[in-house]
Each structure stands twice: as structure tokens, then as C-alpha cells.
Amino acid sequence: MTQFTNQLINGQWKKGSSEKEIENKNPYNDELLFTIRSADQSDLDEAYEAAKEAQVKWAALPLHEKQALFDRLLEKMKAEKETIIDWLIKEAGSTRMKADSEFAAAVAVVKESASFLTRIAGVLLPSYIPGKENRVYRSPKGVVGAIGPWNFPFHLTLRSLAPALATGNSAVIKPASETPVTSGLLIGKLFQDAGFPDGLVNVVVGRGSEIGDMFVEHPIPKIISFTGSTEVGRRIGELAGKQLKEVALELGGNNVMIVLKDANIERAAKAAAFGKFLHQGQICMALNRIIVDESVHDEFLKAFMNIVEKLKVGDPAGQKTFVGPLINQKQVERIQKEIQESVEQGAHIQLNGKTDGALMYPTVLTNVTAGMPIVKNEIFGPVAPIMKAKSVEQAIDLANDSNYGLSGSIFTEDRHLGVEMAKKIETGMIHINDQPVNDEAHVPFGGEKASGVGRFNGEWAIEKFTTVKWISVQEGYRDYPI
């Protein structure tokens, strides 16, 4: 526990230099886990300088040594699995099932990233100029600033960090203030224990109001990788743009599931319940709107309610708990306000979930329309708005009636129709006969519109975290017309 009350800078665990402190609390019972002294600009400068120096040495390290370090990292992760899951439960409010799936996803992204060590390749291109050879070399960008989220903190921070390192970069992590351990400090310790060089992975814990802007504007990092809200992502994009600095932004979502009249209703209802209420709906890919063909609306609602009413709500450490606490009570209050405003505008409460501190039981709304707050805004909580559609065309229009475009889902027995619909929906990812919460380490992950910029995972991550240089080689000498 001692190191988790300190910053990790250049291989050393040290107290932050700010006078401010951050309290780390268990969202389920409000227990104070620990207090950490925040980092200030001097700590940030030291971390970025350490990362800059370490990156040069890391890029030159022999391939077999890098591979051995990634192998040891995977061994350490597996050895510390129960510790990682315990922290995800008590710090992020993850249910055990969600924590298990998050750990598995994190292992997968580290394995995939380790393969980048032998997948980074340049190319040789012909030239119109006689005797010239065009070589295109691919190399790391330098230092990556990674800002971790609080909802899937372990996996999503590693989704930036592991490929950044595997492609030859170094990194400074700024964890989410709500989850400093699982989105930063624990990750830093794992890399340190695996034997990665000092300064390669640094972790600075501090609130965005104190070091957030400087974390992005600092002259050393060449790319800022952020997973979080669209509001914060816009700010990061604005600051980075002024510095002509690249970003990788995975932001909010207002994801839909479309259930057509030929769908398997029972399977669609089960998928909808999973895709809506996993991790209390606090997932960027979680269902925000369920659009059902009006001819099967009542049948779907009955099947959906039968599942949702049986979901176990409570202590996330419980083996059978499916819905745990929101990250804090402020989120509960925000969502309750949006429910009330939507009801005032005509929404019907089919299932009225009670609240208890940060716990919020599932709520189901019908008769919702596009302009209501519970439909227009990203919910990030256990509320399921169900809408009717008169046709395939209307369902597509409703799906696209959003500033977001991250993930989505279509249930239909006509797979060709499903794919044709999917092509027309403005979203980075969409799944036929499955719910929208999907992430595979080798498949591109990212959104359109206000849901982000760029793609994570696989070869798309290699592209994001490296740059190319054209070097031409002239055999003999050219004859210039002068």
C-alpha cells in the first residue's frame, strides 16, 4: 500500500510536491482507502524529462530483451490477478464478473502489443528517378502522455500504454483521480516489478484542475492518448491542436440497439440487459437507447423486464452481483434529474429503480422521444430508455439522431439486412446479433463524430504510436538541368 500513496517518477516512489491531496474512496461504502499528495508542475516536468531520457535507450534496446520484459510483465499480471481484481472492486466499484473480464481484456491487449515488436515494418518504394531507391522507415514518436479513465481503468490505460511501449515510446500516465491505483499506480508497479527500465513508465497523480492543461501542453510528449468524456476530450484536442500535437481520443457514446420485427426476441432482450447494465452502464459502449420495431415492442419489453427485474444489485464483491455502485453519488443525482425531466416530458417509468447512496437499481423507461435528456445525453448509469420505430428507415434515422457515434447493435435474422443497416449508421463499431460492449485487442476500436479521434488496437495502434520517415538513396549522381 505504501507505494500507492506516492508518485512514480524515474523509478522512484516519491510524495507529490503539491499542497493538495486526493482522497481515494470505495464507491460502494464510501470507505477511505488512502490519501495521496498530488503532483504539481515540477513533478510533471521531472516525469516527462525522465521519460524523454529513457525513451532513447529503450528504442535502442535489443529486441530479445524487450520481448523478455513483456513476457515477465504478463507473468506478473497473472501472478497478481487477485490483487488487481480486488482493487478494481474496491476502487472502481467493479463487480467481480466485470473485473474478471477487464483483467482478461488487459492481458489480451498486452499480448497483442508484444507482437508489435516484430510487426513494425518499413517499405521500399520504386522511384520515377533513375537509380533512386525510396525507403520508408517507421520509428517511435517519442514520449506519450496517457490519461486513464475510471470506468475500465486497468484495461483502458494499458490499451494506450502497452502499444506505446511496444512501438518504442516511453510514457507518463496521469490516472483518473477516482481510480489512481487501477488506472496508474498499480500499472506502474507491475512494469517496475517486471524489470522495465526506470523512467520508461512514470505515474503522476493530480487533479485536472491543477496539472491537466500542462500535462497536454508540455513540450516533451508528442502524442496525448485519452479515454474519457467528450467534454474533456474536446479540451484536450483544443490544447493539443494549438501545439500541433497529435491525439488519440476515445470519448463518450450514445449507443443504440435496434431490434427488428424478425429478431429473436428472447436473445435480443438478454443481450440488451447485458449491454445496458454491465458495470452499471458506466461504459462508453453501453446501450443508451433501445430502438424496437413497434410490432414487437410489447413482446420485447416483457422479455426484457423479466430479465432486468432479477438482476442482483448490491456489494460488487458478491459473487452474484451484476449491478454495483456508480463511481460516486453525484452521478446518481445527475441521472435522477434527467429521469425526472424526461418523465415531465412524457416518458413512462416501467421499472422504478430505487437508490441507496451510490447504488442505483435498474430503471426502465418507455414512451421516450429523441429530445428527452435521458435519450439525448450519455446516461452512464443503469437506465434503459426504450423507443419505438415504425420502419427500418426510421430506426436508422433515430440511431443517427445523436452527436455521438461509438458503438451499436442490430438484432435481425436477416444478416444481410443487418449489415446494410450497419453501413448506414454513423458509428465506428456496430455488431449484428450481439450487444455493443465489445473490444478485441486485434480489431480497430474507436468512434465517429463526438465519440473520438483515431483508432486503438492492432495495426491501427502501430500506426498511431509511430511515425514514418522517407529516406531516398541515389545510386550514382543525377544529371540536373542546370
Residues 6+ away with beta carbon under 8 Å from 419: 432
The answer to whether position 177 is within a domain reads yes
Crossing angle (nearest 10°) for helices 186-193 and 63-79: 130
CB 209 within 8 A of CB 186: no
Which CATH number fits the domain that encloses residue 455?
3.40.605.10
244 shares a domain with 261 = no
Give the chain's domain count.
Answer: 2
297 shares a domain with 211 = no
Q: Point out which residues pair with 397 in neighbouring strands.
A: none
Please return the burial class of 100, using the count of CB atoms within 10 Å of its CB with bins 0-12, 13-18 and 19+: middle
Question: Distance between alpha carbon 474 and the CA centroid of its chain, in Å?
Answer: 46
The answer to whether position 304 is within a domain reads yes
364 shares a domain with 413 = yes
276 shares a domain with 206 = no
The answer to whether position 439 is within a domain reads no
Confidence (pLDDT) at 161? 98
The answer to whether position 475 is within a domain reads no
The answer to whether position 211 is within a domain reads yes
**Which position among 112, 210, 250, 338 bears the catalytic label?**
250
Residues 19-45, buried b or exposed e (16+ Cβ, 10 A)?
Answer: eeebebbbbbeeeebeebbbbbeebbe
User: In this structure, what DSSP letter does residue 325 have?
Assistant: B
The answer to whether position 440 is within a domain reads no
Question: pLDDT by residue for the chain (482 residues), tens digit each?
Answer: 568 999 999 999 999 999 999 999 999 999 999 999 999 999 999 999 999 999 999 999 999 999 999 999 999 999 999 999 999 999 999 999 999 999 999 999 999 999 999 999 999 999 999 999 999 999 999 999 999 999 999 999 999 999 999 999 999 999 999 999 999 999 999 999 999 999 999 999 998 888 999 999 999 999 999 999 999 999 999 999 999 999 999 999 999 999 999 999 999 999 999 999 999 999 999 999 999 999 999 999 999 999 999 999 999 999 999 999 999 999 999 999 999 999 999 999 999 999 999 999 999 999 999 999 999 999 999 999 999 999 999 999 999 999 999 999 999 999 999 999 999 999 999 999 999 999 999 999 999 999 999 999 999 999 999 999 999 999 989 989 99
262 shares a domain with 208 = no
Query: Strand 132-140 to strand 466-474: parallel, antiparallel, or no bridges (unpaired)?
Result: antiparallel
Q: Which residues of 308-403 form beta strands (DSSP E)?
A: 348-351, 355-356, 359-360, 363-366, 383-389
CA distance 308 to 142: 48
User: In this structure, what DSSP letter does residue 35 have?
Assistant: E
CA distance 226 to 246: 11
226 shares a domain with 131 = yes
Torsion of CA 345, 349, 350, 351, to 10 degrees: 150
Q: Is 238 a catalytic residue?
A: no
CA distance 253 to 255: 6
Q: Residue 352: give the domain boundaries.
A: 255-432
The answer to whether position 437 is within a domain reads no
Confidence (pLDDT) at 381? 97
Confidence (pLDDT) at 208? 86
315 shares a domain with 239 = no
183 shares a domain with 271 = no
Tell me the whole-structure pTM to 2 decimals.
0.96
User: In this structure, what DSSP letter does residue 212 have?
Assistant: I
Which CATH number fits the domain that encloses residue 363?
3.40.309.10
The answer to whether position 316 is within a domain reads yes
279 shares a domain with 199 = no
118 shares a domain with 78 = yes
353 shares a domain with 284 = yes
414 shares a domain with 388 = yes
